[in-house]
Structure 1
Amino acid sequence: MAHYDVAVVGLGVLGSGAAYYAAQKGAKVIAFEQFELGHVRGASHDTSRIVRTSNFSPELVALAKSAYQDWAELEKASGQKLLTITGGLVFFPDEPGTPALARDFTTSLDQNGVPHELLDSRQVRERWPQFELPEAVSTVYTADSGIAHASRTVGALQALARAHGAILREQTRVVRIVPRSANDRRTVIIHTSKGQFQAYKVILATDAWTDRLLSPLGTHIPVTIMQEQVTYFKPTDASKFEPDRFPVWIWNGATCFYGFPCYGEPTIKAARDTSNNFMTPEQRTYVHSPQLLGELSAFMNNLIPDESRQPLRTVTCQYTITPERRFVISPLELHPEIIVGLGAAHAFKFAPAFGRVLAELAVDGFTKEDISQFGIPVSAGDRSKL
């Protein structure tokens, strides 16, 4: 049975990052992906993700600042341009059910020294006339926001992992992981569809499939899983939406939407966040919802009017949501040789830092990043035992 320092389960962006950074540290690494590399069954495919330092939580702003340094180093190591900085707008409408105000959002930016501007609707329309904002909307602008190329990032991390000696095994499903003690040292037996392996540390970056491996170990992370979708629209005049003329944006209303400028093609991309289209990975249809597309199109018609704009294609993805959408970056309490990484469907912007921290926990046993808020959440069943 082959023995490794670190085994990574799941090769989306977080697992690929963990494999790269662990191998970069000199660890003997093996990583498993149950599907083909670059598959569309999870949450790391397609072209673009928003990157930003702006966030409600001070600890996420701090991690995002670290991630920007990691992004720069990753671009240098891979020789690829992975980020496109466009600036970013977060809209806060004054409407019933709105979860927060702009001043709540800027507090965490001030605490972390992130430059930003607070704009009224008139100022937004003057600078970006593509938007038709109601008067009662406050807007936070951060110049460092932009776009990460999703599939290119995953591929770059996997290539770098291999370049540093990691073995990546696709089409290899991990059936179970069994901790054990041998010669006074903890180790883990990894049972896969293609044989057994051993590792001193195991990183689970398995998203919607995490609980299947944790439940036999007596740990349950209460997650909800849903199929989401993004739509690419063809604007009448694509030149108005080039990245140097149009920013990424987020509508932080009772229902949240977000969108992108043109990126690699003359289309703009937009979506609703958390549409609550609940299902399991086995129940996913990969067929988009016409109702959600209709809701998105109606919203876009109001926010970014364009009578001749047409939807070209809609792509589905999978959200795995933890309680309060908090990250999980933590060893198991009873089995510290097993480390869990869950991104709660908003981790891509942090991906290099997220993967690096997982690798640091596995190889070094500690990280300098503040992950104190990212422990294993207590499920309702576990809470009743406290």
Structure 2
Amino acid sequence: MIPTWHGIRVTASSSCAHGVQSSDKFTFVPVCVGGLRQRTMASVPYYDHIVVGCGGVGSAALYWLSRRAGKGVLGLEQFKLGHDNGGSQDHSRIIRLSYHHPRYTRLLKDSYQAWEEVEKESGLKLVYKTGGLDFTLKGPLEEVMEDYAKAMDSQGIPYERLDGPEIHRRFPQFEVGPETVGLYQPDGGLVDAARGNAAHIQLARAHGATVMDECAVLGIERLKSGLILVRTGKGEFRCRRVVVCAGAWVNDVLRYVGTKIPISVSQEQVTYFATPNIKEFTKDRFPIWLYFAPDYILYGLPIHGNTGSKIGIDYGRTHVTPGTRTYTPDPVREKASIEFLQKYIPRSLGPVLYTKTCLYTVTMDRNFVLDTLDAKGWPEIIVCCGAGHAYKFAGLLGKILSQLAIDGRTQHHIDDFTFNRPAVTDPNFKLDFYLGGNKEDTLMAKM
């Protein structure tokens, strides 16, 4: 039994005491009791801002916070930096101005600019514009592409309408005919995701930020001083603001403040093929692409980071938890990808280089969460959930998070990403997985 004197509980390790703690407040008294060394709460390291999770969005938040707060920023990553347990570590991720709703197209130009600022400061090339092609078969699926066209029109984003023969003329890699229609947007391309994450972290350190990996969060509490105490496997830290970018582990963090986000975590995958026709699928000859099928969207990218063409299926709906995901590719989806390429892009095929898995963490309406926990009584905590399609926005989302943390506001339009919406507040809200069209008017309702 640990002895208590005058409301003070003494804690000790096997070799020496680490301090005494008031039973009614977290204040450590700098005196010795019974030979045990005491410490004050003031000795607990303090940072203005703590970022939890240093993946795509978290590393960007760390960078943008460090540009303004310097040494007052701490980043915490539960795994090693650069790990592939989450959703943002690979050679490439798509970036594009073509999107299904104005809530996203109005952010995308600024997303490109945010990446450009990181490129300028780092001297590294991160974004490669290859052009972007959206295509589908004539019929009901055209209505989904019209949502993309309208969303681009709303922001004055230029694009071209292409029929199948014109797609094949410009990009003979695509075996499509008059039954196909498409939209081409010249600014589409890819972001070097692994390099982008690393650049954000290294630049944040250059600005004075501290980054600790293999440092899981084990608790969050509010001190009577008004500061937040974050407990980790490597010690305790005080701060004014906590920015949570924990991906599939977001609710593991939020449970410490008594809340959670309704999310679905799934194991996804991409496959790289060792095409013998390498030159046809380089970034200067082959665009990023999306194909709208009745039940899902397929997507692909040119060669980058290795020698393989890349294909994936958006949100394959293999529901897991971070603890149950297997890292084992799904042969059914791999087969579906091969069959699609045999029909539409046959020269991209070759032996499978490898299939890589990752995690999607999606909200019930597949829209971002980007908001404080003010309504839950924790205005000091800011949360971002990228809903399985955030990497292209990562630089901008990090900037917005820094503005919310430092200024309490942002000039960017994020009203659609609050906690106060049915997909977050209604426990009976049905998952809307298809990333196309409005929630009230999805493809599934049209078919």
With structure 2 as the length reference, what TM-score do the two structures score?
Answer: 0.82
- Cα separation, partners in 2 of 1:383 and 1:244, compared to 1, 3 Å: closer
Please list the CA deviations of residues 139-177 of structure 1 after superposition, one character each: whole Å capped at 9, or x if unmatched. 111000101001000000000110011100100000121
2:285 match: 245
- 1:61, 1:179 → 2: CA distance? 38
Moved more, 309-318 or 166-175: 309-318
1:64 match: 108
2:135 match: 91
2:419 match: 376
Please list the CA deviations of residues 49-84 of structure 1 after superposition, one character each: whole Å capped at 9, or x if unmatched. 011111111121111110111111110111100011
- Cα separation, partners in 2 of 1:380 and 1:19, compared to 1, 3 Å: closer
- 1:326, 1:308 → 2: CA distance? 33
Aligned pairs for 1:106-185 (under 5 A) are 106-182=149-225
Supply the AA of the counterpart residue of 1:203.
V
Count of residue pairs brought into register by the alignment: 381
Please list the CA deviations of residues 112-142 of structure 1 after superposition, one character each: whole Å capped at 9, or x if unmatched. 0111001111110111111012433221110
- 2:57, 2:201 → 1: CA distance? 11
- 1:191, 1:214 → 2: CA distance? 13
Residue 262 of structure 1 deviates from its aligned partner by: 1.6
Selected match of 1:206 from 235, 240, 246 = 246
- Cα separation, partners in 2 of 1:149 and 1:308, compared to 1, 3 Å: closer
Aligned pairs for 1:224-263 (under 5 A) are 224-254=264-294, 255-263=296-304
Residue 4 of structure 1 deviates from its aligned partner by: 1.0
- 1:217, 1:379 → 2: CA distance? 21
Say yes or no: does 1:297 pair with 2:338: yes
Contact 2:101–2:147 at 8 Å: present in 1 too?
Answer: no
1:7 match: 50
Contact 1:95–1:253 at 8 Å: present in 2 too?
Answer: no
- 2:289, 2:172 → 1: CA distance? 14
- 2:264, 2:215 → 1: CA distance? 25
Residue 94 of structure 1 deviates from its aligned partner by: 3.4
Residue 372 of structure 1 deviates from its aligned partner by: 0.5
Q: Which has the higher contact order (CA 8 A, sep 6+)?
A: 1
Say yes or no: does 1:271 pair with 2:312: yes
- 1:153, 1:273 → 2: CA distance? 22
Unaligned runs of at least 5 residues, structure 2: 1-43, 429-447
SS in structure 1 at match of 2:393: helix
- Cα separation, partners in 2 of 1:381 and 1:55, compared to 1, 3 Å: closer
Contact 2:342–2:349 at 8 Å: present in 1 too?
Answer: no
Selected match of 2:361 from 301, 307, 320 = 320
SS in structure 2 at match of 1:92: strand
Contact 1:256–1:272 at 8 Å: present in 2 too?
Answer: yes
Residue 240 of structure 1 deviates from its aligned partner by: 1.1
1:217 match: 257
- 1:142, 1:253 → 2: CA distance? 20
- Cα separation, partners in 2 of 1:77 and 1:94, compared to 1, 3 Å: same
Cα root mean square deviation, aligned: 1.9
Supply the AA of the counterpart residue of 1:74.
V
SS in structure 2 at match of 1:123: helix
Unaligned runs of at least 5 residues, structure 1: none
- 2:287, 2:57 → 1: CA distance? 26
Moved more, 100-109 or 304-313: 304-313
Determine which structure has more spread, i.e. the larger CA radius of gyration. Answer: 2
Aligned pairs for 1:37-76 (under 5 A) are 37-76=81-120
The percentage of counterpart residues that share the same residue type is 38
Contact 1:207–1:320 at 8 Å: present in 2 too?
Answer: yes
Moved more, 76-85 or 126-135: 126-135
